[in-house]
Amino acid sequence: MPRVAAKICGLSTPETLDAAIAGGARHVGLVFFPASPRHLTFEKAAGLAPRVPDRVGKVGVFVDPDDALLSAAIDAGRLDALQLHKVGRERAAAIAARFRLPLWIAVAIRTRADLDQAQGWKGLAERIVYDAKTPEGALPGGMGLRFDWKLLDSFAHPAPWALSGGLSPENVAEAVGVTGARMVDVSSGVESAPGVKDVDKIARFLQAVAAL
């Protein structure tokens, strides 16, 4: 088992999903957000889910979702965990109570004050995903932006966590060296164009992670 686990996010084709699994991804991310170039229809998700072995977790990625979307996506994608963006604690608690799946909470970071927001998720988040804060009006994830990794220095993490935002095959080793992350998450860094995953980049990213 590699020292550092990887999640490849925003997979939408059988070939790229298979490449992530073959390369050793511990989790795959399926995005259910129509504004994203990585958005999956329920039909597509239902076609992809059976390709994923039990040892690989299927994480649904959502932005302030309603219950109907969550319910349909969980069924179609046979999801193992829910990654929530732009959801407050009260709503997240209601989602956890209703759907009984682990919550991965995305915390958008530009400053140390942003990072401190993570403390509010103690006891509810199974995992915190530290991601870069994106510009107003832009997608909240998948933008290839990174934050200042040094902000994580000596931070008392409220839960297990993943490092996300602007990672690539070229910088993931440095990112892990600086932050000590035990899980990394990537989307656009393994793409040839927004929403178009590249099997060679996926393989190179996962090789770089396995070498750590």
Residues noted as catalytic? 9, 131
What is the CA angle 30-211-53, rounded to 5? 35
CB of residue 185 to ligand LARABZUK, shortest distance in Å: 5
CB of residue 211 to ligand LARABZUK, shortest distance in Å: 19
Q: Closer CB to ligand LARABZUK, residue 77 or residue 189? A: 189
| Strand ranges inside the chain, DSSP E | 5-9, 27-31, 57-63, 81-85, 103-109, 127-132, 161-164, 183-186, 191-193, 196-197
* N-terminal to C-terminal alpha carbon distance within the chain: 11
CB of residue 10 to ligand LARABZUK, shortest distance in Å: 4
Q: Closer CB to ligand LARABZUK, residue 25 or residue 76? A: 25
The secondary structure of residue 139, as a DSSP letter, is -
Q: Closer CB to ligand LARABZUK, residue 52 or residue 156? A: 52
Q: What's the rounded Cα separation, in Å, for the pair 120 and 196?
A: 35
Q: What's the rounded Cα separation, in Å, for the pair 36 and 211?
A: 31
CB of residue 148 to ligand LARABZUK, shortest distance in Å: 14
Q: Closer CB to ligand LARABZUK, residue 16 or residue 188? A: 188
Residue with tokens 């991965």: 104
Residue 174 and residue 153 in contact, taking contact as beta carbons nearer than 8 Å: no
Q: Which residues pair with 107 in a beta bridge?
A: 130
Q: Closer CB to ligand LARABZUK, residue 76 or residue 185? A: 185
Residues that bind ligand LARABZUK (CB under 6 A): 9-10, 29, 31, 33, 36, 38, 61, 63, 85, 131, 139-145, 164-167, 185-189
Nearest residue to the partner ligand LARABZUK, using Cβ:
142
Q: Which residues pair with 191 in a beta bridge?
A: 197
